[in-house]
Chains A and B, each alone.
Chain A
Amino acid sequence: QVQLQESGPGLVKTSETLSLKCNVSGVSINTYFWSWIRQSPGKGLEWIGYVYFSGSGSTNYNPSLKSRVTISGDTSKSQFSLKVNSVTAADTAIYYCARLRAGGFDYWGQGILVTVSS
């Protein structure tokens, strides 16, 4: 059974770096694409980007966030990570990690609320 679990600080100061991890279990992290998605309070869903570890690996980011986002991973720990630089209040959201397969997101973590505040 595929399971994903986000972890990281729930509060980040304005202008600092948001860092989250997603632990994957029940499947090899090397086989699929893994994404981060966020949802601002009371708003819709926004795809942030994905990482793929097989072969030489690859990443792809939402152009609106590309300049501030890095997604990477540690396959030995079956984890992948998200970093968002220079955060503002607009980055306050529930952050989800999810598996991307055949064009959609079939397994999701429970989500973690990250609040950006000075």
Chain B
Amino acid sequence: SYVLTQPPSVSVAPGQTARITCGGNNIGSKSVHWYQQKPGQAPVLVVYDDSGRPSGIPERISGSNSGNTATLTISRVEAGDEADYYCQVWHSGSDHPVVFGGGTKLTVL
């Protein structure tokens, strides 16, 4: 089965840029989606198809994907960005098509 690897935690000061990575074998050939989850809430889609932004998601949040690494970038980080972030892909042709990364806790210092 396909495996996605994320760092358990990332810390950044307010106003700085946070980068959260998601590693996978030739992940650049797949469409990567990112979710933000705050405590006690359901996840929210923040980036789809590598770099698309759903309505209502600020331009400060962006994504990229190449080679074996996809990256979620949050510019001008705010206290309200503190949350868990998960990457996800659709692994076509598999009996386990939906794959999540282990999640990254973003801490705003």
Whether chains A and B associate is no
Residues of A within 8 A of B (CB): none
